[in-house]
Amino acid sequence: MSKPHVPDDIDYSLLPTERLRDAMRRYLDYGSRPGSFLTAVIENDFVNAICGADKEHYSHLQEIAWFIYNEAPGNSWGSRKKREAWQKLFEEEKED
């Protein structure tokens, strides 16, 4: 079940691989820390995203960027500070 601050209409099927869909869903729906590649993508860290991408995801960077820009909540991506704040929302819910 999605948290209240996560839109119900995110279309994870737009992501090119099952592994990426699962990781993005865990991050957006539950605040789980993604791996280094997806963290770099979420933080808008171009160099580390390119250097950290495996062969499979390297060829799909444009699709991944499109998904984040069009589907992910704006406050969940764009910088390290935004990623950390997004994850903190879930930590605060656990404390309540």
* Tokens found for residue 26: 């865990």
Cβ atoms within 10 Å, residue 96 = 4
Q: Where would I find the H helices in 1-96?
A: 18-30, 36-42, 46-52, 55-58, 61-71, 80-95
Q: Give the model confidence (pLDDT) of 15-53 as tens digits.
A: 999 999 999 999 999 999 999 999 999 999 999 999 999
Q: Which pLDDT score, from 0 to 100, does residue 5 have?
A: 72
* Tokens found for residue 40: 């770099």
- In this prediction the pTM is 0.89
11 contacts 24 by C-beta, under 8 angstroms: no
* Tokens found for residue 61: 């960077």
Q: Which pLDDT score, from 0 to 100, does residue 96 have?
A: 58
